[in-house]
Amino acid sequence: MSERRFNFTRTRIDHLVPPEKGKRQYYYDAGMPHLALCITGKGTRSFYLYRKVDGRPERIFIGRFPGTTVDQARNAAEQYNGQIAASENPQAAKRAARTELTLEELFQKYLKQHIRARGMQTKNPESYYRRYFVPWGPRKLSRIKRTEVQNLHAEIAAKRSGASANKATALLRAMFNRALYWGDFEGENPGAHIDRFPERSRDRFLHPDEMPRFFQALAYESNPTFRDFVLLALLTGARRGNLQAMRWADINRERATWRIPKTKSGEPHTVPLAPEALAILKLRAEEAQTEWVFPGTGKTGHLTEMRRAWKSLLQRAEIEDLRIHDLRRTLGSWQAATGASLPIIGKTLAHKNVSTTAIYARLSLDPVRKAVNTAARAMFAAGGVADTGSGELIQGDGHEGKH
């Protein structure tokens, strides 16, 4: 038997003499075909499977001795030999694993090639990824398992809400679906088949008995930019992000319209402006110094942070559990209360529903404008605002709300 081929045992391997520094010496196991042991000049001993695969020599690393025992090396070699016999190349799988995307790399690609490429807003996916998945960012996609996703889903629900948990896993599922579509991942989507938590639809809006307190609190608002923002949120039903980024260039006062270049769906939307909204914009335009209707001091150039002001407003109004987004629902609710149809309300708020999209597309702005104007008059009447067309929308002692 050759000195380089013998039955591997711990004792025989321990007594092998390393070659000169910078050299390598290979030995082969007589008990397992193609199992090799490599010893370096520093004495490092490593197990490999060394054989031809598809006509090319392959050296597949198994593990270092003695951390990897002889029996473990033989078992691994046997599995690799079986894969090769089945026309599989274990080394190719290892190479693929090395080049496989990490979750952070997939997220960046998902933002660039899916979200931004379709003109969709990135705020929500970025927020959910940064909040819940950053610790997983360096991990290869194949290392993320469904059981981990299930555990995280339950953890988010316990700490925050079932809705947040559902949205987080929906983002992960969408990312992996893209990875499968792009050919960046093979296997089962770890975000698929996760049982969703029940979600309660939010139905909060300003009720008639709350309107007087709400408008009175606005009358004492010391920040005119915030006050006008709240009023326009109520009068247009626009999403907060769209309203924050409102530009003078997108407003046509002659036609009484505001064109939102890009909504949540990625499409433009034209908003009819009620007389009360035009009165606010007219007076803001007289003092405008930037392209933004609601300028801010941050890097965006427009208004962004309003939490403290909103909290203070609700405290003055003695109103609880109301969000800025609920002003959008308030307009729709008051439209319904004043006789507007569901398709009209849907077009007002730029809702995109598959079953009603065709109906929305056939609607002109005239009935939408009528419904908005009617709802605006009703809300201001309920709030105790007497003159809704003169520009003096909000008044309070020492804090005139003249726009």
- Kindly report, residue by residue over 189-213, the tens digit of the pLDDT: 999 999 998 876 667 888 889 999 9
> What pLDDT was estimated at residue 248?
96
Given this structure, which CATH class describes domain 5-98?
alpha beta
Residues 6+ apart with CB under 8 A from 271: 236, 237, 238, 257, 258, 259, 260, 348
Q: Which two tokens stand for residue 186?
A: 């093979």
Q: Which of 136-145, 340-349, 366-375 has the highest mean pLDDT?
A: 136-145
> What pLDDT was estimated at residue 396?
45
pLDDT for residue 401 is more than 70: no
> What pLDDT was estimated at residue 356?
38
Higher pLDDT, 395 or 66: 66
Alpha carbon distances (Å) from 107 to 114, 129, 130, 183: 10, 8, 10, 15
CATH superfamily of 211-382: Intergrase catalytic core (1.10.443.10)
Same topology between domain 5-98 and domain 211-382: no
* Residue 95 binned pLDDT confidence (cut-offs 50, 70, 90): low
Residues 6+ apart with CB under 8 A from 238: 232, 246, 258, 260, 271, 328
Contact 61, 46 (CB under 8 A): yes
- Kindly report, residue by residue over 224-270, the tens digit of the pLDDT: 999 999 999 999 999 998 999 999 999 999 999 999 998 877 788 89
Where along the chain do its domains lie? 5-98, 103-182, 211-382
- pTM, to two decimals: 0.55
Quote the mean pLDDT of the chain: 86
pLDDT for residue 326 is more than 70: yes
pLDDT for residue 115 is more than 60: yes
- Kindly report, residue by residue over 366-398, the tens digit of the pLDDT: 778 888 888 888 888 888 875 544 445 554 444
Mean pLDDT of the 66-93 span: 88
Alpha helices in 18-99 (DSSP H): 70-85, 90-99
pLDDT for residue 355 is more than 90: no
- Weakest-pLDDT range from 93-107, 116-130, 158-172: 93-107
Of 388, 382, 366, 378, give the one whose Cα is nearest residue 338. 378
* Residue 313 binned pLDDT confidence (cut-offs 50, 70, 90): very high
